[in-house]
Chain A
Amino acid sequence: MYTNEVIKRFKKPKFMGEMRNPDGIGKVGNPTCGDLMHIFIRVEDEVIKDVKFQTFGCVAAIASSDALCELAKGKTLKEAKKIKDKHIVEKLGDLPPIKHHCSILGADALKEAIKDYEKKR
């Protein structure tokens, strides 16, 4: 059902955990299945220096969160805003169609985190 990349990230997510005093937090819920994702970002000079996630969700949601963090890290905010669910799916090799909504959750959470940062600034 899942690609090796999904399983690898699910088994050993590199970016999981909470961040203390993040510059921005994005919290989104998945309307499809009721799941929850939190993305934390640390920003310096308009660049995402660090990013972490916490997810209450399925294998695909956890792997998507981790892939998203890797995509976002080191990017300028402008670049990061362009990250879409399809980039997450690419990074993961693929996702079963029924699990695409889990990657959308990831893209939305990052957008919310950036919005939160910009609002606080």
Chain B
Amino acid sequence: MKVYLDNGGTTRVDDDIAKEMKVVMTKKYGNPSSVNSMGEESRDIVDDARKVVADSIGALAEEVIFTSGGTESNNLAITSLIGKKHIITSSIEHPSVKEMCKQLASEGYKISFVQPEKNGVIDPKKIEKEINDDTSLVTIMHVNNEIGTIQPIEEIGKICKERKINFHVDAVQSFTKVPIDISNVTSMSFSSHKIHGPKGVGALYFKKGKKVKRMLFGGHQERDLRAGTENVPGIHGFSLAVKKEQPVEEIKKLRDMLIDGILKEIPDTFLNGDKERICNNANITFKFIEGEGLLMHLDMKGISVSTGSACSSRSLEPSHVLLALGLKHEDAHGSIRFTLSKYTTEEEIIYTIKQVKSIVKKLREISPLGK
């Protein structure tokens, strides 16, 4: 049986979206910047898509910039919103924010990395405490990609608004699954491939009146804010994905079944991060074993997952998110992230629980710990 539980990594593109994208690629392939009718047709596709994305978050069409994905959106927002030399972020951000901040630190910016509470949720008061006269930007993710916890972005947004500080939100994981309120937000990032759209496309919401500092120079695309011929099929596919309903309650039911099944049937396991989290995420530590081995065994049974283990990271460092929760090295070692989607079935969850159980037992026999 093939069970794909790495939807936090990326998702399957919907069949009808792939089909419609093919039509754009093979029939409506004009350049949106061209004056001919083929170009106009493509321009309309991009305009329509922009309206779809804007409507989905209650923004104006002109506040949406199409990008190559979440990484570029985060980079572009942060680049645009820094002025004074202090930035506040959290210690559990995605690398596209974390590494950007580290780069800025090397250029002389001061960065405050706020630690989450033990449950993986950031206390807005801790952010407020870090604010000083030099603070130009607060950048916090909406939903964490590893543990699925939801950050109180409304409250943080209010604080930023009061103090007149820019607030950027990485909403790549939450988009279409968790309600989004942009009223106190300066900018927000989205990515298509996490929501059953194609890879390599995303968007940035950027509040009207704020100035984008462009990173790509060239043609006049995206109102001169981002040069380069538009990824028309990608943008079209992305907008179709935005329009689709996410069966949040069904996904959540299966996810709870997975968590309950594992925690109940396998001893010495615990959930990482608060129980209150995005509908499709379960991040579980299996004590006394290492995640890469568990991942590999599951893979051989057709089940795709990911791990926060040091052994499977290129840096040989355990997940910075799990360490920020206060996990011990060896407990981060045995962590597995299961992320479901609307395609996940009950049968797959039952199969997964069964396989996890027997593999964990086997690996624990090999392990010197926990005896």
Residue ranges of A at the interface with B (Cβ–Cβ < 8 Å): 7, 10-11, 13, 16-18, 27, 32-38, 54-62, 98
Total count of chain B residues near the partner, CB < 8 A? 24
- Kindly identify which residue among B300, B310, B314, B366 contacts A16, using a CB–CB cutoff of 8 Å: B366
**Which of A27, A32, A54, A57 is most buried by chain B, counting CB atoms within 10 A of its CB?**
A57
Show 23 A/B contacts (Cβ-Cβ < 8 Å), sorted by A.
A7-B296, A16-B366, A17-B365, A18-B371, A27-B368, A32-B316, A33-B333, A34-B318, A34-B330, A35-B311, A35-B333, A36-B369, A37-B368, A54-B366, A54-B368, A56-B288, A56-B368, A56-B369, A57-B293, A58-B312, A59-B293, A61-B311, A98-B316
Query: From residue A26, how far is it (CB to closest CB) to chain B in Å?
Result: 11
User: What are the residues of chain B within 8 A of A17 when measuring CB–CB?
Assistant: 365-366
Query: From residue A96, how far is it (CB to closest CB) to chain B in Å?
Result: 10
User: What are the residues of chain A within 8 A of B365 when measuring CB–CB?
Assistant: 16-17
For B313, the closest partner residue in chain A by CB is A33
- Kindly identify which residue among B311, B329, B371 contacts A58, using a CB–CB cutoff of 8 Å: B311
Interface presence of B93 (CB below 8 A): no
A58 touches B309 (CB 8 A): yes
User: What are the residues of chain A within 8 A of B310 when measuring CB–CB?
Assistant: 33-34
User: What are the residues of chain A within 8 A of B141 when measuring CB–CB?
Assistant: none
Query: From residue A39, how far is it (CB to closest CB) to chain B in Å?
Result: 10
A-contacting residues, B296-310, CB 8 Å: 296-297, 300, 309-310
For B317, the closest partner residue in chain A by CB is A33
In the A-B complex, the 7 residue pairs with the smallest Cβ-Cβ separation, listed nearest first, are A58-B311, A54-B368, A58-B292, A33-B310, A38-B368, A56-B367, A34-B329
User: What are the residues of chain A within 8 A of B329 when measuring CB–CB?
Assistant: 34
A57 touches B290 (CB 8 A): yes
Interface presence of B121 (CB below 8 A): no
A54 touches B290 (CB 8 A): no
B292 touches A55 (CB 8 A): no
User: What are the residues of chain B within 8 A of A57 when measuring CB–CB?
Assistant: 290, 293, 311
Main secondary structure of the interface of B (DSSP, over half): helix
Interface presence of B289 (CB below 8 A): yes
A58 touches B290 (CB 8 A): yes
Given contacts A17-B365, A34-B333, A38-B368, is CB(A56)–CB(B311) below 8 Å?
A: no
* Cα A61 to Cα B309 with chains together (Å): 14
* Cα A13 to Cα B297 with chains together (Å): 13
For A13, the closest partner residue in chain B by CB is B366
A59 touches B292 (CB 8 A): yes
